[in-house]
Structure 1
Amino acid sequence: MDGSMTSTTHTVCPSCGGPVSDADRYCEACGTELNPAAAGAGSPNTPALDTDTEPTVEINTAPPVGPCVSCGGTIGADGYCETCGAKAAKVRDHFSEQPSPWVAGVCDRGIRHARNEDALAIAADAEPGSRALLVVCDGVSSSLDSDVASLAAARAARDVLTAGHAQGIGTESSRASAIVARLKAAADAASDAVLENTSPDSPNPASCTFVAAVLENGLLVAGNVGDSRAYWFPDNSAPVALTVDDSWAAELIATGIPREQAESGPHAHAITRWLGKDAPDHTPRTTTLKVAEPGWLLVCSDGLWNYCSEAAPLADLVRQTAAAAGGEPLATAAALVDWANAQGGQDNITVALARI
C-alpha cells in the first residue's frame, strides 16, 4: 500500500509529474492537492470530509503566537500574520516531546507535503538507561484523516506500554515474553484508535504504519507493522536494524535484489501491512535484544531513512550529529530532522531517540 488499497487508475501529478492514482487526495512527492473540486463533490445529503483539519487529538504544545516566519510580524487571532497575511504554521506541522533528558523526539511536516501525517508518542523514567517507550506512526497520505488516526494510534500504544510493567516469572526469557505481549497489546490499542478515527463511509479508510521500541532495564524489544523502523546503535559494536519492513522493497531485498535498487524502484514505498479498517493483519513482528553497552536507540519514519537506509551509515550519521549537538537527545533529533529536510524533505519526518 503506497497511497491506496484498492484498484485505481494511475496518472501523474500536475505540479511535479510524480506518479499518483485517482484515489489520491494529495501527491505523495510534493503534497499538491489533487482535483480539489471533485473532492468536495457528491450527494448533497452526504457531508464532505475535511481531510486537512487540525487533529481532534490535542498536542501538548502551545499554539503559535508569532512572530510570523515570513516577515516577523504579529500573528492575529485568526491565525494569519497582521502584516503580510501569511498563514501561521499549524502546531502539528512541527512538535517535539522530551519526557526525560535522555529521551526525546521531533516530528516535522517536511518540505513537500501539505500536512504532517507522522506522529510520535514517547515516555521514559527519570533514570538514564532504565525504561523508555518510543512509538512512531506514519499516516498513509492517500487515506482520509490519516493525520488524526496516526496521532491517536501512537498515543494509545504509548499509554498501554506505560501502564504495564510485567516481569514474567523472574527469568529473562519470561520477562522478554511479557514485554512482547505488552507490545502486541499496544499494537491492538493503536489499531483500535485508527478505527475510532475512521469514517464508516470512507472510500479510503484511515491507515498508518506502527513501530514501537521498549527498553526495560537492559532488555530491548522492538516491533513494527509497515515501514517505520527501529535501530540500535551501540557505541563500540556493530549497528543493528531491529525491524524488517512490511513492504515490496523488503521482499525484493529478501530475494537478493540490492537494497539501493529495491528502495529506489517505482514501488519502493508500497507497504504490505498497516493499521486500519482494511488491514490484513496488524500483529507486529518483534525482535528482542539484550543491551550490554552504551549507545543510541533510534525509532523513525521513512522521512529520515529515505535518505540513509542501511544501519551502518545511519549509525555514523546519528553519532556525528549527536557529537555536534553535545550528546543531547532533543537537539540531536532536531538536527536529524533538519538534515532530512536539507536532503529534500519529500516526506514527513519523525525521529525519536534514547541515549542509553
Structure 2
Amino acid sequence: MDVAMTSTTETVCPSCGGPVSEADRFCEACGAELHPGTSPSTPALDTDTEPTVELTAAVVNAVGPCHSCGGTVGPDGYCETCGTKAAKPRDHFEEQPAAWVAGVCDRGIRHSRNEDAMAIAADETPGSRALLVVCDGVSSSMDSDVASLAAARAAREVLQAGHAQGLGTDSSRSSAIVARLKAAADAASDAVIDSTSPDSPNPASCTFVAAVLEDGLLVAGNIGDSRAYWFPDAGEAVGLTTDDSWAAELIATGVSRAEAESGPHAHAITRWLGKDAPDHTPRTTTLQVTGPGWLLVCSDGLWNYCSEAAPLADLVRQTAAGTGGEPRATASALVDWANAQGGQDNITVALARI
C-alpha cells in the first residue's frame, strides 16, 4: 500500500524514481530499502518485525517443511538441512471457516513484512452467509502490520455479532446490513487508533474493504483502494467498490485506467483508517445475487497486475478450473500468480464460491 496523501514531504526513490516520503523505509514501486543520504539497497527479507497481535493456531498453517529443500525446520526457525530461515506466521496465513469460503494473506516477494491482513467468517451452508474483510497497512506508518490485523478482526467481530433483517423487506434488510458494515468500519478505525502510540510521528493507518453476503443479498463497502468484485458464472463481472485514490480521481476526469494506474502517484490513497484519517465512512454498494459465481475481496497486491473486472474474472475462473473450484486452493493459486508477476506488494485474496 502506498503512502497516504498527508502533509509528509515527498521525494523520489533514487533507485527507480517512484514517489516516496521522508518517513518511508521501503520504496513501494521497486521494494528498495531507503536510507537518508545513502543509496537504497535490496531489502533484507528476514527482518524481525513481529506484530504484537498474535495469530491464532486455528487460522494459521503450522510451520511445515522447508520451502527451499523440503527439510525439517528446527526449533530455532531455520531448516536443519539447508539453513534457510522459515517464514514467520504473519508472513503467510490462511483461513477457511467453511468449505465454500477461504482466504490467503501473503507477504509477497519484495516487502520485508506482511502489512496486509484479513478476517473472514461463514456459515456452513454454501451461499448462505459470508463475511470477508481485508485491510492493507500503509507502509510509511508505524506498526501498520499490527493495525491492519487488529482492524480486520475488529470489523469481523462486529459483522458476526449482528444478523439484522430490517423490517422484512429487501430495502430494509439492505439498510440494516449497510448500517452494520459502517459500524464494523467504526470498530476497525478504533482498533487502528488503539494500535497507535499517542506520540507517533507517523500514526498507524490502513485501508478497509468488507463484503457481507446474506441469503442472496451482497453488500460491499470500502475505504482506500482494497477492492471487492462479483464474478457471476453467467453475466458481466462487477467491480463492487470504487477506490479512494489519486488514480481513481484521474480516471473520473477521463484519464485512461492504464495511464492512471501506472503513473507516479497511482497508489496514493485519499482516504484510510487511522488517527489522522479525514473520514472513515465506507462507500457501500448493494447487489442481489441471483446465480452462481465468485465473490472476491482483495488487496492491491493482486489487482495491481489485473485491475479491470472482466480480465480479473477470467483469471479467477481459469485459476478455479485448475484447482477443481476449491476456494482455498484457488486463493492460494492466485497469490502464487501475483508473486510470479513480481510480488512487489503484500497480497491478500479472499474468496466465496456461491
1:75-114 paired onto structure 2 within 5 Å = 75-114=73-112
Partner of 1:352: 350
Partner of 1:54: 50
Give the letter for the 1:68 counterpart.
Answer: C
* Residue 150 of structure 1 pairs with residue 151 of structure 2: no
Partner of 1:6: 7
Contact 1:180 1:286 in 2 (8 A): yes
Contact 1:65 1:74 in 2 (8 A): no
Separation in structure 2 between the aligned mates of residue 11 and residue 297 of structure 1, nearest angstrom: 37
Distance 1:277-1:196 versus aligned 2 partners, 3 A rule: same
SS across alignment from 2:56: coil
Partner of 2:265: 267
- Pick from 164, 167, 170: which aligns with 2:165? 167
List per-residue Cα deviations over 1:197-239 (Å, max 9, x = no partner).
Answer: 1111111110000000000011000000000000011111111
* Residue 238 of structure 1 pairs with residue 236 of structure 2: yes
Separation in structure 1 between the aligned mates of residue 227 and residue 215 of structure 2, nearest angstrom: 22
Distance 1:354-1:9 versus aligned 2 partners, 3 A rule: closer
* Residue 24 of structure 1 pairs with residue 21 of structure 2: no
SS across alignment from 2:147: helix
Kindly state the Cα deviation for residue 182 of structure 1 after the two structures are TM-superposed.
Answer: 0.1
Give the letter for the 1:25 counterpart.
Answer: R
Q: Gapped runs of 5+ residues in structure 2?
A: 39-46
Partner of 2:41: none
List per-residue Cα deviations over 1:43-80 (Å, max 9, x = no partner).
Answer: xxxxxxxx952222221245754533334443332323
Give the letter for the 1:56 counterpart.
Answer: T
- Pick from 130, 133, 148: which aligns with 1:132? 130
List per-residue Cα deviations over 1:126-177 (Å, max 9, x = no partner).
Answer: 1000000000000011111000100000010001000000111111100000
Kindly state the Cα deviation for residue 8 of structure 1 after the two structures are TM-superposed.
Answer: 1.1
**Percent of aligned positions that are identical:** 82
Kindly state the Cα deviation for residue 32 of structure 1 after the two structures are TM-superposed.
Answer: 3.9
Kindly state the Cα deviation for residue 34 of structure 1 after the two structures are TM-superposed.
Answer: 2.6
Separation in structure 2 between the aligned mates of residue 129 and residue 138 of structure 1, nearest angstrom: 26
Distance 1:55-1:3 versus aligned 2 partners, 3 A rule: same
Contact 2:192 2:274 in 1 (8 A): yes
Partner of 1:35: 35
1:192-203 paired onto structure 2 within 5 Å = 192-203=190-201
Q: CA RMSD in A?
A: 2.0
Q: Gapped runs of 5+ residues in structure 1?
A: 39-50
Partner of 1:323: 321
SS across alignment from 2:350: strand
Distance 1:66-1:299 versus aligned 2 partners, 3 A rule: closer
Give the letter for the 2:7 counterpart.
Answer: T
- Pick from 286, 307, 310: which aligns with 1:309? 307
Scaled by the length of structure 2, the TM-score of the pair is 0.92
Size of the aligned set, in residue pairs, is 343
Separation in structure 1 between the aligned mates of residue 221 and residue 340 of structure 2, nearest angstrom: 29
Separation in structure 2 between the aligned mates of residue 7 and residue 253 of structure 1, nearest angstrom: 25
Distance 1:9-1:264 versus aligned 2 partners, 3 A rule: closer
Separation in structure 2 between the aligned mates of residue 175 and residue 300 of structure 1, nearest angstrom: 25
1:155-234 paired onto structure 2 within 5 Å = 155-234=153-232
Partner of 1:44: none
Separation in structure 2 between the aligned mates of residue 267 and residue 36 of structure 1, nearest angstrom: 21
